[in-house]
Amino acid sequence: MKIVDYDLYAVPPRWLFLRIETDTGLVGWGEPVVEGRARTVRTAVEELMDTYLLGKDPLRIEDHWQTMYRGGFYRGGPVLMSAIAGVDQALWDIKGKHYDAPVHELLGGKARDRIRVYQWIGGDRPGGVADAAREKVEAGFTALKMNATSELRRVDSPDAVSRAVERLGAVREAVGPEVDIGVDFHGRVTKPMAKRLAEALSEHDPFFVEEPVLPEHNDALPQIAEHTSTPIATGERMFSRWDFKEVFEQGVVDVIQPDVSHAGGITEVNKIASMAEAYDVALAPHCPLGPIALASCLQVDASAPNALIQEQSLDIHYNETSDVLDYLADPSVFEYREGFVDIPDGPGLGVDIDVDVVEARAGHDDWHNPVWRHPDGSVAEW
Ligand SMILES: [Mg+2]
């Protein structure tokens, strides 16, 4: 079997789909994207496909991964690792279809039948969270996630901390102690504020605090951990085993959140998950993305004994124009029941992408994240 062709489709709300075609007629789908940099990643994918993959046997995934990663001399980072991720997902999809097996079967088989999912509430500048939380719990979700705060100054007022605590408290009061509530600092909180905020939020027992600081400040995580017993999560902006090894050795992170569309795909995230297992760290793959990314996450979750929970983007605040189910021929594959989703059992990634919908909506690569500014005019983290 040989790879003979590929197509890339930039689709709303902010995703990029890759379709790899083989000479046997088998087709594989991947989702190589950095949100807001779809055009850049498209170019990186084209370079990988044209330089290394066209004409090759798609089944030799590990060799292709090594070639894409190491063959270019310069490596790592969001753009290249997301390009590799999408290609890797499509190759796994082809391999599964070739052997008529779901990807998880090829990774060792299911270690679970279903995985818990969490539901986003409240948007970028969190508001209306108590009502949204009640509504989502009534819909069956048992775990939620919200942003802790909008932008904060480098050292902000006690009031900014109190408002974040009150918001989480309102959600806790609305849903009770049985529902888990993840709180995302979104890398928009500086070290001094992260210490205060993590400590103050502990009162309402968050599920975890996520990205308490930007990944370039991971060296500050031990200081933050001293101020709270809340589990610490991070990893959506870390892209390989080599990016994760320092936080494993540091020993304060409890939950890692690699993104299967950013961190080198199924091949690499499966290895990161195994490393995490050795350090008693849980896996909760980041996935505010589309159906191919989510299906890829579920394939990794299936066989990872330390998988804790899965992010998914249904009704997330970014999905204003299209949602995660729109591109599926059979959306029931992502049916959420009692806060869980079943591991897809179909061949490959286990989802059937509706190519007519993809083609009809393609040509949408103009999403960029907002640039926030502080009252003094300086750039704030988003
Ligand atoms: Mg996050």
Residue tagged 């007022």 (tokens): 157
d(CA 209, ligand 1 centre) in Å? 10
The DSSP symbol for 49 reads I
**11 found inside a domain:** yes
**What is the CATH number for 88?**
3.30.390.10
89 and 128 assigned to the same domain: no
**361 found inside a domain:** no
**370 found inside a domain:** no
d(CA 169, ligand 1 centre) in Å? 20
The Cα angle at residue 227 between residues 222 and 228, in degrees rounded to 5: 100
Is residue 61 within 8 Å of 103, Cβ to Cβ?
A: no
d(CA 186, ligand 1 centre) in Å? 5
Annotation marks residue 368 as catalytic = no
Q: Is residue 321 over pLDDT 80?
A: no
Q: Is residue 128 over pLDDT 80?
A: yes
36 and 144 assigned to the same domain: no
Taking the C-alpha atoms of residue 181 and residue 200, their distance in angstroms, rounded to an integer, is 15
d(CA 235, ligand 1 centre) in Å? 8
**371 found inside a domain:** no
Q: What is the pTM of this model?
A: 0.97
93 and 118 assigned to the same domain: no
**112 found inside a domain:** yes
Q: Are strands 340-342 and 336-337 parallel, antiparallel or unpaired?
A: antiparallel
At residue 124 the predicted structure's pLDDT band, cuts being 50, 70 and 90, is: confident
Alpha helices in 99-230 (DSSP H): 103-106, 129-138, 158-175, 191-201, 221-225
At residue 267 the predicted structure's pLDDT band, cuts being 50, 70 and 90, is: very high
Which candidate in 64, 104, 262, 286 is catalytic?
Answer: 286
d(CA 60, ligand 1 centre) in Å? 33
Which candidate in 186, 204, 227, 317 is catalytic?
Answer: 186
Range of the domain at 49: 3-102
**What is the CATH number for 229?**
3.20.20.120
Q: Which residues pair with 283 in a beta bridge?
A: 256, 307
Please give the pLDDT value at position 127.
83
Q: What is the count of structural domains for the chain? A: 2
76 and 148 assigned to the same domain: no
17 and 147 assigned to the same domain: no
At residue 322 the predicted structure's pLDDT band, cuts being 50, 70 and 90, is: confident
d(CA 101, ligand 1 centre) in Å? 32
Please give the pLDDT value at position 316.
82
**At which of 102, 124, 153 does a domain end?**
102
CA 59 → CA 92, 132, 372, distances in Å?
8, 45, 45
Task: Give the model confidence (pLDDT) of 18-35 as tens digits.
Answer: 999 999 999 999 999 999
Annotation marks residue 64 as catalytic = no
Amino acid at 72: G
**At which of 69, 102, 135 does a domain end?**
102
d(CA 5, ligand 1 centre) in Å? 35
76 and 139 assigned to the same domain: no
22 and 56 assigned to the same domain: yes
Q: Which residues surround ligand 1, an ion (CB under 5 A)?
A: 184
197 and 267 assigned to the same domain: yes
Q: What is the 3-state secondary structure (H, E, C) of 301-367?
A: HHHCCCECCEECCCCCCCCCCCCCCCCECCHHHHCEECCEEECCCCCECCCCECHHHHHHHCCCCCC
pLDDT, mean over the chain:
96
Pick the closest to residue 231 from 281, 161, 306, 177 (CA basis): 281
What is the rounded average pLDDT of the residues 248-254? 97
Q: Is residue 125 over pLDDT 90?
A: no
Task: Give the model confidence (pLDDT) of 137-150 as tens digits.
Answer: 999 999 999 999 99
Q: Using CB atoms within 10 Å of the CB of residue 112, give its burial: 0 to 12 exposed, 13 to 18 middle, 19+ buried.
A: middle
160 and 202 assigned to the same domain: yes
d(CA 211, ligand 1 centre) in Å? 6
The DSSP symbol for 20 reads E
Pick the closest to residue 344 from 113, 140, 119 (CA basis): 113
